Amino acid sequence: MKSRFTPLLAGLVFAVSSLTVQAGEVQVAVAANFTAPMRKIAAAFEKDTGHKALLAFGATGKLYAQIKNGAPFQVFLAADDKTPAKLEAEGDTVPGSRFTYAIGTLVLWSAQPGYVDQQGEVLKKGQFKHLAVTNPKTAPYGAAAVATLTKLGLFDGLQSTFVTGENVSQTYQFIVTGNAELGFIALSQVMTDGQLSGGSTWIVPADLHEPIRQDAVVLANGKDQPAAQALVEYLKGEKAEAIIRSHGYDL
């Protein structure tokens, strides 16, 4: 019996050993708005490929600064298309690796049901003390919020109510904890499996700000790294796309 099963066991050991040898890790800088979907994608990516994605989340501008200061990221998922293009122009990426992985949607959201109407008229009424907005200098969703308020002619009147988050995750926390009655965040933060998760929401019309095209790029550190290339290919696949859409993004 022992000799009969030895080849099978040896084959299994070899297969597991081969997977361990081939599997790698990839350091990924991820825009904060993409936290929830990227965690799901990373889990599926590891299960399907054996590669592990090590994720670091933050505002796009701050992640850019970390990359320029030598952070060992190999793949960058930004909240805009300008920052990856800038890194590309500065020679910090693998040529030809940049692509749009998602198109984001800005929303005005309150944790209180019925507080935000579906036309955003609550902004014009001004019956609130604090409006959470992400720093427009470092976060594209913050820039989109400022552009929206400016186009509506409300920026000057509401600027004094701003509670500013470093990234959209912090902005979301301001609203959830009651430090702001409402605020501008990403639709992905309040949508799972295509359903809004609670509170009240105004989906900001796309013509009130520039499109939030979110680009990914392989950084110079990721050149010739199989795990980095595998992640990029996985992001373009059907399973990742389904996760991305389920969180309110377009493709």
d(CA 211, CA 203): 14
C-alpha dihedral, 157 to 159 to 163 to 165, nearest 10°: 140
**Chain mean pLDDT for the chain:** 92
| Average pLDDT over every residue of 227-247 | 97
pLDDT of residue 204: 98
Domain 2-103+212-246 matches domain 104-208 at the CATH topology level: yes
One of 3.40.50.1820, 3.40.190.10, 3.90.650.10, 3.40.50.300 is the CATH number of 2-103+212-246, namely 3.40.190.10
Nearest CA-CA partner of 76 in 104, 55, 105: 55
pLDDT of residue 232: 97
pLDDT of residue 9: 45
One of 3.40.190.10, 3.90.1300.10, 2.40.30.110, 2.40.110.10 is the CATH number of 104-208, namely 3.40.190.10
d(CA 179, CA 171): 10
The pLDDT confidence band at residue 197, using thresholds 50, 70 and 90, is confident
Report whether pLDDT(222) > 60: yes
pLDDT of residue 126: 86
pLDDT of residue 23: 79
What proportion of the chain, given as a percentage, has pLDDT over 90? 88
Token pair for residue 77? 């998922």
pLDDT of residue 13: 42
Kindly report the pTM of this predicted structure: 0.84
Q: pLDDT, tens digit, for every residue of 163-194?
A: 999 999 999 999 999 999 999 999 999 998 88
Report whether pLDDT(11) > 90: no
The residue extents of the domains of the chain are 2-103+212-246, 104-208
Q: pLDDT, tens digit, for every residue of 78-113?
A: 999 999 999 999 999 999 999 999 999 999 999 999
Nearest CA-CA partner of 115 in 203, 200, 177: 200
Sequence-distant (6+) residues with CB within 8 A of 245 are 194, 251
